[in-house]
């Protein structure tokens, strides 16, 4: 039998502060003696996946226990009979009044219908209700039977249907790896849905309902362990002859599985077949726990009906349930022919509403699972989450969504007149009154209140100013593509650095533009090169009053414009470049840089630089690793700023914009090599990457609002299309909100001035 949150007698780890009454989880942790999970260790560089366009395309593939959920049964606080004092304490009406005086528990209960006097009867709540379930007939059979027994008029709208990917080679290889007895002792197979089980069965290769269990029998005997995300998945695995070892106790989701995942002293490998639309929650969480996670696409979902579904539907019988496609469901919603919709997955919700969540306005919504409820909330929709993904729990949630103390929420048509010539009385709608206990607008009433309640702030010390210094200039040279930004002379650079220190900015990042270039970027290592002379000048000007940073890359210094040394075939030679980076790092450290920013995206660059600095007696110099630097179209103005000689692109070493999980791989590699801080670049177009990195990084995270992002705001403001100041502030605030501890931005000085003005510090 699956172990509910326990495995082999050890308590499942539950983190405090993730839900439930404050302190409960912490007390459970102390009783269980739970330990923090090990940090992830991802190895093997992946730059070979960026070697050629064909291989890049092949590389693209498509926290825990919750507190009380809306719909949960009321808790007894003291284990015995409820004890209340005051008038009417022993009478049902008094008990109801006491319940109404309590503050709502969950987010859905913030809008609680005001009960009608003397009415508290929910019997027959579902009879006659018109309910649409976004699931296929095969998957919804038990729920349909239960609802029909209550008199519900049920229709189905599958919306999406699973199908095997065009190429199942990766899934077959993952299954072969799971079936191998050798490495099975330290291997998990994590299964996240019933459809994943079906996909594994489809590629298992042997007939019969238990072919999957038979295929993995030897590996199971050798120690392969299986985890299921919830009860339905566990039942499907058991039917396939593969009873799981771990099923989360309460939250049937990726987060719930992570919360109950057992702590292991030596994490091994997790094999993770996924939907093509799966979010990276489970993979990132397991990686952070120290596991090596191998993924493969198990199935994709396409609009229903699919030409080749993963599980073909059987022929309908006499009691078949009416089934709608998306257009039919939208028409039913528009005509008011659905009182409630059961949302079975975030993907089904996205397929239904598209870009217009208003199609579900006024319809009672029940979500199966917390991720689905959260997906609805993200679209501004209120859905009631079923306590568990079972037909009984869904029925209970529907009863609560469709009725309450105020009676049915669906329209109640009047009886038509007996005269055939008279018009039928139109459908009347009850407009319920709501007791608005929670009013978020209270915290938006004045600027002072909004400042007090702000959850994210931008302080000057969070900002780093990138600057360019060009050899041979006597006066600053403006950049046409970046209004307000210049190439500095040595004198103007000193003044800019002094201003950075005076305004309390977090730091200044220097980029050098030499007068002479060669194939090896020799000026970057020359102590008398423009960048190293600039570093000495800035340190002499500001000392330690601000953090002086240096860009460590060869692209400004090479005559071909690439970030490394070229091999004979014209490609960038990774290892030859690393040797140059080591010498360049020592030269910049000796010139006075506090922090070095290696931005070339060479495999192993952080480790080589750290070793070179330590060997040169400079362990005090920190490394800000450009861990997730993407090959972006928004670098254009920067190349004017450094007078880049680049012909072609840098896609063989900078990251593919299509790849999200790879960023966490690069992050872990840089951490293992000794990075003191990490960076995501660009920032605004990659806020999802920034969020992923910030959630797992143990070191400070920076993000670079790059030249193209700066130029777009300037261009739009110059045309009068946006409010420049508001757009600048919002853009940098969004980067901070996504998780950046510091932001490199060309707006840094202005933002510091505005901060002082808005806070009365001018």
**What sign results for the dihedral spanned by CA atoms 489, 495, 498, 504?**
negative
State the residue for tokens 């780093």: 464
State the residue for tokens 């048509």: 413
Nearest CA-CA partner of 641 in 508, 513, 489, 509: 513
Cα dist from 596 to 425, 463, 592, 609, whole Å:
77, 17, 10, 9
Is residue 195 within 8 Å of 275, Cβ to Cβ?
yes
Q: What is the three-class DSSP state of 4?
A: strand
**What sign results for the dihedral spanned by CA atoms 42, 44, 50, 54?**
negative
Nearest CA-CA partner of 225 in 197, 247, 244: 244
Q: Which ranges of 3-105 would DSSP assign to H, the alpha helix?
A: 24-32, 53-59, 92-101
What is the CB neighbour count within 10 angstroms for residue 65? 22
CA dist 436 and 159 (Å) reads 35
Task: Please say if 503 is a catalytic residue.
Answer: no
Is residue 194 within 8 Å of 268, Cβ to Cβ?
no
Which residues on neighbouring strands pair with residue 509, listed in sequence order?
466, 549
CB environment 450-466: b (16+ within 10 A), e (fewer): eeeeeeeebebbbbbbb
Task: Please say if 289 is a catalytic residue.
Answer: no
State the catalytic residue, choosing from 15, 665, 681, 736: 681
CA dist 91 and 627 (Å) reads 65
CA dist 688 and 739 (Å) reads 10
CA dist 85 and 726 (Å) reads 55
In the DSSP assignment, the letter for residue 566 is: B
Alpha carbons within 13 angstroms on the beta-carbon side of residue 692 total 26
All residues at 6 or more sequence positions from 32 whose CB lies less than 8 Å from its CB, including other chains? 11, 12, 13, 14
Burial of 277 (0-12, 13-18, 19+ CB in 10 A): middle
What region, left, alpha or beta, does residue 89 occupy, with left being phi > 0 and alpha being psi -120 to 50 degrees?
Answer: alpha
**CA-based diameter of the chain, in Å?**
102
State the catalytic residue, choosing from 135, 562, 629, 650: 629
What residues are labeled active site?
629, 681
């Amino acid at each position: 039998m699956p172990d509910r949150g326990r495995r082999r007698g050890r308590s499942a780890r539950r983190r405090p502060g993730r839900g439930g009454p404050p302190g409960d989880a912490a007390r459970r942790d102390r009783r269980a003696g739970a330990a923090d999970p090990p940090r992830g260790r991802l190895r093997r560089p992946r730059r070979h996946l960026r070697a050629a366009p064909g291989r890049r395309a092949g590389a693209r593939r498509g926290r825990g226990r919750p507190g009380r959920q809306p719909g949960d049964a009321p808790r007894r606080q003291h284990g015995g009979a409820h004890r209340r004092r005051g008038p009417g304490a022993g009478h049902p009406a008094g008990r109801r009044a006491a319940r109404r005086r309590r503050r709502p528990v969950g987010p859905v209960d913030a809008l609680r219908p005001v009960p009608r006097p003397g009415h508290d009867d929910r019997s027959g709540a579902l009879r006659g209700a018109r309910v649409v379930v976004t699931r296929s007939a095969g998957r919804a059979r038990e729920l349909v039977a239960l609802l029909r027994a209550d008199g519900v008029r049920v229709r189905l709208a599958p919306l999406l249907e699973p199908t095997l990917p065009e190429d199942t080679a990766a899934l077959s290889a993952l299954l072969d790896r799971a079936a191998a007895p050798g490495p099975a002792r330290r291997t998990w197979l994590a299964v996240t849905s019933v459809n994943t089980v079906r996909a594994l069965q489809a590629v298992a290769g042997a007939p019969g309902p238990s072919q999957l269990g038979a295929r993995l029998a030897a590996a199971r005997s050798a120690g392969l362990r299986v985890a299921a995300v919830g009860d339905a998945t566990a039942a499907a695995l058991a039917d396939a002859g593969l009873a799981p070892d771990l099923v989360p106790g309460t939250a049937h989701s990726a987060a719930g599985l992570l919360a109950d995942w057992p702590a292991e002293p030596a994490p091994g490998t997790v094999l993770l077949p996924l939907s093509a639309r799966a979010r990276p929650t489970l993979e990132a969480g397991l990686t952070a726990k120290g596991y090596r996670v191998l993924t493969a696409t198990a199935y994709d979902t396409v609009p229903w009906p699919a030409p080749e579904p993963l599980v073909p539907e059987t022929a309908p019988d006499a009691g078949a349930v009416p089934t709608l496609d998306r257009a039919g469901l939208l028409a039913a919603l528009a005509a008011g022919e659905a009182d409630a919709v059961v949302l079975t997955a975030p993907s089904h919700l996205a397929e239904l509403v598209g870009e217009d969540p208003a199609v579900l306005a006024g319809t009672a919504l029940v979500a199966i699972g917390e991720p689905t409820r959260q997906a609805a909330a993200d679209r501004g929709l209120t859905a009631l989450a079923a306590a568990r993904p079972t037909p009984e729990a869904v029925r209970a949630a529907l009863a609560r969504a469709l009725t309450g103390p105020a009676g049915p929420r669906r329209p109640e048509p009047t009886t038509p007149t007996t005269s055939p010539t008279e018009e039928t009385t139109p459908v009347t709608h009850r407009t319920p009154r709501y007791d608005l206990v929670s009013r978020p607008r209270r915290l938006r009433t004045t600027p002072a209140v909004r400042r007090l309640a702000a959850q994210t702030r931008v302080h000057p010390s969070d900002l780093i100013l990138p600057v360019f210094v060009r050899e041979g200039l006597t006066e600053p040279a403006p950049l046409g593509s970046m209004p307000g930004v210049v190439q500095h002379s040595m004198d103007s650079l000193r003044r800019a650095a002094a201003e950075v220190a005076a305004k309390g900015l977090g730091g200044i990042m220097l980029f050098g533009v030499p007068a002479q270039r060669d194939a090896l970027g020799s000026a970057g290592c020359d102590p008398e090169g423009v960048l190293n002379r600039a570093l000495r000048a800035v340190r002499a000007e500001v000392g330690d009053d601000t953090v002086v940073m240096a860009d460590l890359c060869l692209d400004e210094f090479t005559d071909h414009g690439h970030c490394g040394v070229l091999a004979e075939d014209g490609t960038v030679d990774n290892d030859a470049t690393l040797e140059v980076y080591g010498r360049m790092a020592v030269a910049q450290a000796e010139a006075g840089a506090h922090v070095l920013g290696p931005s070339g995206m060479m495999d192993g660059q952080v480790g080589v630089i750290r070793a070179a600095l330590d060997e040169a007696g400079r362990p005090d110099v920190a490394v800000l690793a450009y861990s997730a630097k993407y090959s972006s179209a928004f670098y254009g103005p920067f190349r004017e700023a450094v007078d880049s000689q680049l012909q072609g692109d840098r896609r063989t070493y900078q990251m593919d914009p299509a790849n999200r999980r790879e960023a966490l791989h690069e992050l872990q590699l840089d951490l293992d090599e000794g990075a003191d801080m990490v960076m995501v670049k660009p920032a605004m177009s990659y806020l999802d990457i920034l969020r992923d990195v910030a959630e797992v990084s143990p070191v400070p995270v920076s993000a670079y609002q790059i030249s193209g992002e700066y130029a777009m705001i300037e261009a739009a403001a110059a045309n009068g299309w946006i409010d420049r100041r508001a757009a600048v502030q919002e853009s940098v605030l969004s980067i901070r909100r996504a998780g950046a501890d510091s932001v490199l931005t060309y707006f840094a000085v202005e933002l510091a001035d505005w901060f002082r003005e808005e806070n009365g510090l001018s």
